[in-house]
Amino acid sequence: MITQKNWFCLILFLIIAKSNAQTKAYAIHTVAFYNFENFHDTIDDPLTHDEEWTPTGTEHWNTKKYHQKLENLARVLSEIGTGENPNSPTFIGGAEIENQVVLEDLIKQPKLIDKDYGIIHFDSPDKRGIDVALLYQKKQFQPTSYINIPLYVYKKEVSNEELSKTEESVNVEAEDVIQVNTKSHRIYTRDQLLVTGFLNGEEIHIIVNHWPSRAGGEKKSSPYREAAGVLNRKIIDSLQQINPNAKVITMGDLNDSPFNNSVKKALGARGKIQEVKPFGIYNPFEEMANKGLGTIAFRDSWDIFDQVMVSESLLQKDYSSFQYWKAGIYNKPFLIQKSGKYKGYPLRHSLTEIGFSDHFPVYIYLIKEKK
């Protein structure tokens, strides 16, 4: 029989437990990725194929348009993930970036300057002159090392002319043609950027990617992205060999969906947490793709090329250290085309309007229990 004293103790215990649950607080950080889409300055670089993004080029790119692009990008970056986290992203991985100068101009924008972003960027061998980079809030993250790791892929069977054609209805930008060295047959593509450092005192590794395009057709170009997935997996393996508990985030525009071989087989990512084995990779964007969501549209068909994935070490239930919480696609109404042929698509740049990008940004949250 439960006595009156026992009832009192039970009720007191429940009140205390509820009170503790309500007062539990978490530190939160947003990790975002955004393909900036042709983020060029107005100056012709003689070493790259950027002539169209100059005042005399086909895009009639000028200072006024460039400054509008900066303002537009800054607005997006300042707001990603603010539904759950009032601070703008601690980390921003970016793609289609011409050089360090455009990033320096970007972080000086009024909507970003108070965040005091640092820049990690390397020039890549991509002949369009577009690279990947990482922005990070200096007060939150202190990098200890960073390196650009080249992807070596070669083409011998198909000519450059054939590579410039699309064999099927695949999502590929007209200007994103695979560039091949005529002597070595190496395909020029973006490096993979690896950054290691401490997030509020805890070591984190971040890889930023922009894998080879689908120019030449999805099937013919798939081996290049599969090679990118293999390289990504090797980088992660090397980090885990040094520290089996290494916390790794890999993100980027993969030019493939979560279901393609480059992601599922080469990288070995899994779409359900319960399927992720030790040292494995979790891809929260697979479930979103299953629901028909997308980050990029082509012929009224949506796909998720932009993804952020985490190592199994970020899926633990112990929140005394940083762990993955949840993911999202940032597709607010102001980022969407309101009318015309591409109504409902991401609002990109055109000759008559300076938009944002042909991709939606993606993000995840990391959380840690406050002591």
Q: What is the pLDDT of residue 10?
A: 52
Contacts of 34 (CB under 8 A, 6+ apart): 73, 76, 77, 80, 92, 93, 94, 95, 306, 357, 359, 361, 362
Q: What is the pLDDT of residue 216?
A: 86
The verdict on pTM exceeding 0.85 is yes
List, as own/partner pairs, every contact residues 160-166 make where C-beta atoms lie below 8 angstroms and the sequence separation is at least 24, other chains included.
Answer: 162/216, 163/215, 163/216, 164/215, 164/216, 165/216, 165/217, 166/214, 166/215, 166/216, 166/217
What type of residue is 129?
G
- Give the pairing type, strands 323-329 and 362-369: antiparallel
End-to-end CA distance of the chain: 40
Q: How far is CA 233 from CA 46, 62, 63, 154, 346, in A?
A: 35, 41, 41, 19, 30
CB burial of 215-236 (b: ≥16 within 10 Å; e: otherwise) equals bbbbebbbbbbbbbbbbbbebb
Neighbours of 176 (CB within 10 A): 17
What secondary structure letter does DSSP report for 227? H
CA distance 236 to 311: 9
CA distance 198 to 178: 36
CA-based torsion, 295, 68, 111, 200: positive or negative = positive
Tokens found for residue 335: 């980022």
Contacts of 23 (CB under 8 A, 6+ apart): none
The helix/strand count (H/E) of the chain reads as: 7, 17
What pLDDT tens digit does each residue of the chain (371 aa) get? 455 555 555 555 555 555 454 567 999 999 999 999 999 999 999 989 899 999 999 999 999 999 999 999 999 999 999 999 999 999 999 999 999 999 999 999 999 999 999 999 999 999 889 999 999 999 999 999 999 999 999 975 444 454 444 333 344 443 455 666 666 778 889 999 999 999 999 999 999 999 999 988 999 999 999 999 999 999 999 999 999 999 999 999 999 999 999 999 999 999 999 999 999 999 999 999 999 999 999 988 999 999 999 999 999 999 999 999 999 999 999 999 999 999 999 999 888 889 999 999 999 999 999 98
